[in-house]
Structure 1
């Protein structure tokens, strides 16, 4: 059974209840001072506490999807090696390989032309030399004859750190939300490329091109759009591409959009922060290069980099988020021809529930900024 399986969760809860009931029922019989009675009491208490702990942990993980599988929980790399076929014109030669297919959760139809499709892919960066798995959501229109010759806008969607890409499908429900927004007439059909910013696990590279290390910014800004545009019917111009994410993914999205307006016309940061973290999870990102450190500070970049015709969306809440003041500073520093929009909740913490409240409007906003061809 999988880590996020509802059956496994139900079994864990049933065991916790059973051990609790057994403790209450058997405790009078184990009240004696014999060694066997003492060991019996200790065993029941440990079993009850362990099963309760496991049940609470599973409920929390199923709600927030910290870990998507047993392999992810125990730090085991899941992807098998991918054979790359270098024959001209193949998808593999274009540095993206499809390794699985599934339908969006909550969409009843198994026909792609009615419910869309999610491809699990492996993207290999030509310049960055980074390889990362991702999920690509293709809307139903992608498979319909009326749209056979249409190129679709695409949005890169990033999780936080140390989240997994499955969070975007299950916990934050991006594909289902995108599907519903199109059905409601609020958004145009868009392709979503969903992955985590941790492309060199377990290191948090903060989407920086690390000297002598992972070239994460190059992967997201150059390799990924090129690979996806080669594989799918997506335009290759900046007006065809957006990037968004939450927390660390939000910082990365705003950073990539700010630094690469030639690649992404719009970027959205949900509960983002505005300068690269530097802690044990990141290691030494800048190796004493102050100019690189300054560039990773988005507020500094707004003051010092040339102004371009880009669109930014930032989100925060007046109560519950720690980024309210820095978000207001970001908004104040965006000057024409760039544009900035915001979602400011009265209250909302740094969690999935808050982001689920923001994602529908954020997708509508992104849709209004992107062009199909």
Structure 2
């Protein structure tokens, strides 16, 4: 009998919730039926049976949660686990020096989209669930005075399991973008949301592996189509790329591998060489890994001077900074040691927080503002 199948099925999750609720009730009823004595004694024994089952379920749930968290380092404290997001930083953790003035474009009364507009395109070359790429356009894009102006564009790559639609949910980008544009901290810019993978169950890490040309899809399919349909990009100075986790690695790799395509980028919880899951892990050759390793480029000195990439990493993040159990696979600390003296690679190092969006989302505004000094 095969046990393959998605554990993300809503019906499976709903069924387990129903079972978790009904099981204690059934046991309670059985306890009442088998108990002797007056009705209130039987009811008390039934209630005790329910409480015992619920307590055991709670202990089991916490035990599993702690084991999973121990393995993946998702949360470093109970406050994070309970959904409390880290407060926004009170000061800049990285130097920001603007090289050119921001374009302040007033919003007129006849602007059809004074709050900006969500658009999108369908792009071939992926499974159906990854083919739609949402595009957010700032209100200035719709000003009549700007009808022939090309705007900067940020390509945002989601985490491994993100579709384009979900990428802005996992790490909110457009909210901070609107605020920074309104405050004149960055130029009006568009955002294109890319998925973390292009085939279901295939971890291609924005590389070309096993006949799935994820990297070429971004560079040769997505970008030309975006620039054909929208007044964005077209030249290196107007293109930026960033992402979270797997998307952070993608951004780190593409900015240094194709410096003629991207002006600058940043990564939240990035890593710096491809970390393939099966089946790609068995298909990855040493040459493929080396050609897509930012660590190797830094180690060999093959990083062009005009590369600009900001890394935002928590030292408590065992999936991005370091983990002794990974035997060197988690390479954030190693990369920091080798790249921290290079002007191409500034860092924002956080003292606490695991590999969750709650750790990193508060640093989106400052990261976008950092890109602003290069034209975003």
Give the TM-score normalised by the residue count of structure 2. 0.66
* Distance 1:121-1:240 versus aligned 2 partners, 3 A rule: same
Per the alignment, residue 74 of structure 1 pairs with none
Equivalence for 1:340: 345
Give the C-alpha shift of residue 245 in structure 1.
0.6
Residue 30 of structure 1: which of 30, 33, 44 is its match?
Answer: 33
Pairing 1:199–2:195 present: no
Alignment check: 8 A CA contact 2:158 2:167 kept: yes
What SS does structure 1 have at the residue aligned with 2:209? coil
Query: Counterpart of 2:71?
Result: none
Aligned counterparts of 1:327 and 1:306: Cα–Cα separation in 2: 17
5+ residue gaps, structure 1: 57-110
Aligned length: 295
Partner in structure 2 of residue 105 of structure 1: none
Determine if contact 2:206/2:214 at 8 Å carries over to the other structure: yes
The 3-state SS of whatever aligns with 2:123 is strand
In the other structure, the counterpart of 1:227 is 225
In structure 2, what is the Cα distance between the partners aligned to 1:294 and 1:18?
51
Query: Counterpart in 1 of 2:138?
Result: 139
| SS of structure 1 residue aligned to 2:220 | helix
CA shift at 1:112, angstroms?
A: 5.4
Residue 116 of structure 2 contacts residue 138 of structure 2 at CA under 8 Å; is this kept in 1? yes
2:313 corresponds to which residue? Answer: 316
Match of 1:92 in 2: none
1:68 matched residue in structure 2 = none
Retained in 2: the 8 A contact 1:321–1:348?
A: no
Match of 1:291? 287
Residues 315-343 of structure 1: CA deviation (Å, up to 9, x unaligned): 11122444336435434544999622221
| 8 Å contact kept, 1:308–1:337 | no
Rounded to whole Å, the distance in 2 between the matches of 1:178 and 1:336 is 30
- Measured in 1, the distance between the counterparts of 2:294 and 2:215 equals 14
Q: Secondary structure at the match of 1:269?
A: strand
2:284 is the counterpart of 1:275: no
Quote the offset at 1:113 in angstroms: 2.0
Q: 1:273 to 1:139 in 2, by over 3 A?
A: same
> How far, CA to CA, are the matches of 1:181 and 1:16 in structure 2?
48
1:360 counterpart residue number: 365
Q: Look up the match of 1:307.
A: 304
**Residue deviations 1:32-72 (CA, integer Å, cap 9, x gap):** 59xxx9xx99xx89x989x99xxx9xxxxxxxxxxxxxxxx
**Deviation string, structure 1 residues 204-244 (Cα, Å, up to 9, x no partner):** 11111125x01111112232221111110013111111111
Q: Is 1:309–1:338's contact at 8 Å kept on the other side of the alignment?
A: no
Change over 3 Å in CA distance of 1:363–1:22 after alignment to 2: same
- The match for 1:257 is 255
Deviation of 1:370 after TM superposition, in Å, equals: 2.8
Relative to structure 2, which stretch is displaced further, 261-270 or 276-285? 276-285
Structure 2 counterpart SS, 1:179: helix
Q: Distance in 1 between matches of 2:315 and 2:172?
A: 25
Query: Is the 2:241–2:266 contact (alpha carbons within 8 Å) kept by the matching residues of 1?
Result: yes
The 1:186–1:328 alpha-carbon spacing in structure 2 relative to 1, beyond 3 Å, is farther
- Segments of structure 2 that go 5 or more residues without pairing to the other structure are 1-7, 37-41, 63-110, 323-330
Q: SS at 1:113's partner residue?
A: coil
User: Structure 1 162/245 Cα, relative in aligned 2: closer, same or farther at 3 Å?
Assistant: same
Alpha-carbon distance, 1:25 to partner: 8.4
Aligned to 1:340, what secondary structure does the other structure show?
coil
**Residues 26 and 310 of structure 1: is their aligned pair in 2 closer, same or farther, counting only changes over 3 Å?**
same
Are the aligned partners of 2:315 and 2:352 in contact in 1 as well (CA < 8 Å)? yes
Q: Judge conservation of contact 2:245–2:267 (CA < 8 Å) in 1.
A: yes
CA gap of 1:139–1:18, structure 2 versus 1, over 3 A, is same
User: Which residue in the other structure is 1:160 paired with?
Assistant: 159
